Structure 1
Amino acid sequence: MDVSKVHSWVRQFNEGRTSCDNKPKQPRAHTSRSDDMIEKVERIVLGDHRMTVEQIASSVGISVGSVHTILHDDLKMRKVSSRWVPRMLTDDHKAAHVACCQAMLTRNDSMNGTFFSSIVTMDETWMPFFNPETKRQSAQWKHTDSPPPKKFRVTASAEKMMVSIFWDSEGVILTHCVPKGTTVTGASYENVLKNKFLPALQQKRPGKAARVLFHQDNAPAHRANVTQTFLRENNFEVTLSTSGILLQTCLGSTFLAPPRPHLTGYSVESEDMLLFYISGAGKTLQLVTVVLKCKPSCTF
């Protein structure tokens, strides 16, 4: 102990101090986390939900760490990103969806619960000639002391083919590959319905061929006059009117999820090979029918 410390202790004992223990210190007031400060921070955040921690700290005059503690510990807040949704529906769209659902439930009751299982629907999707494996498909077992596997980053090929799939709650009815260079028009779509889909329906679903409850999206080829004429002449009852978002979402997205083949990690060299790969090759198509609450699987 240096001389100055000794002189300090002597002076304090001469002034009446009797203990060598340190005096207890009064804790400093937490002005940065007072009730008023917490309320102020909350008011700023509610005024602009996108403010950063640094901007809030600058506005209220406290440290960034204090603002972070107030947000997470006192206000129980966390910053999240917006969730992407397919469409931003207006009040009119939502009201139309409610009316649509009520009409379908009424129709289902009148048909003794067979309405949704009677629907035949279709969808199109693009299939690339080369589709790389997913991260899960390329996973491998390894020991803890062995190095992880490596693979090059690859993307799907630019060359691709459009595939039209027709299905119902029982499984796939038709898988049709649109020839390369074909423009999908009302005439070409009507030709597929007449020469491809209708014979397949009569063969695989003879009970539904006499009167078809048919659902399709609002694509221009589906709304063409030649298509509508064919549907009327062959007793195709379109389940909903062609009303844009309502038609595309009420059944196609809400009740019967479009089938997605688990076709990844493959490479073909021609359209015929791609069609063979889709049609055979032991690949399974998972159909998800939400209303029926079942997941039938079928190989097509």
Structure 2
Amino acid sequence: MSEIPIHIRHCILYEFQLGNNATTAARNICAALGEGAVAVRTCRDWFKRFREGDMSLEDHNPRLTTRELSAMLGCYQSIIDRHLHEMGKVNKLETWVPHQLTSNNIQQIVTGDEKWVLYVNHTRKHQWVNPEDLPEPEPKNDLHPKNVMLSIWWDCEGIIYWELLPPNTMIDSKLYWQQLQN
């Protein structure tokens, strides 16, 4: 369901047994364990599970195959398939990631990119005119408009460096290194 420590799950169960609602439970747990210890949505999910009679604090393994489930329950695999389908479940393959990113990893990521920026960037706009009148003409952009290369670097907090590159500048690792030093 969610990756929260078992002691917080015990707190959620305790709040449920006290008769509190999920919002009050989340507020009480955050007051005791610190801001952001548990989200209201997480408490709602666990409360729903408790109301349905499942008082287990362990997450169910969503990666069991229908073959494993049929062996555990002693029934045909086709019955498992049908019931999962009736419950609205679909079989999806997880995506591969090189490694699990932590918030600290995300804060250390610096991304760079380049973009051609036009000196003149005309955009066509609708005009309100009388039905018999013609709209004001807009000159068509040149086939090769004058532009400049923008090199920009940013992290999770925003832009950390940008530079308009002189014409015919070669973009390579030396330029990147120089920009990151600034």
Per the shorter chain, which TM-score range?
A: 0.3 to 0.5
**Which TM-score applies when normalising by structure 1?**
0.26
Q: Which has the higher contact order (CA 8 A, sep 6+)?
A: 1
Which of the two has higher C-alpha Rg? 1
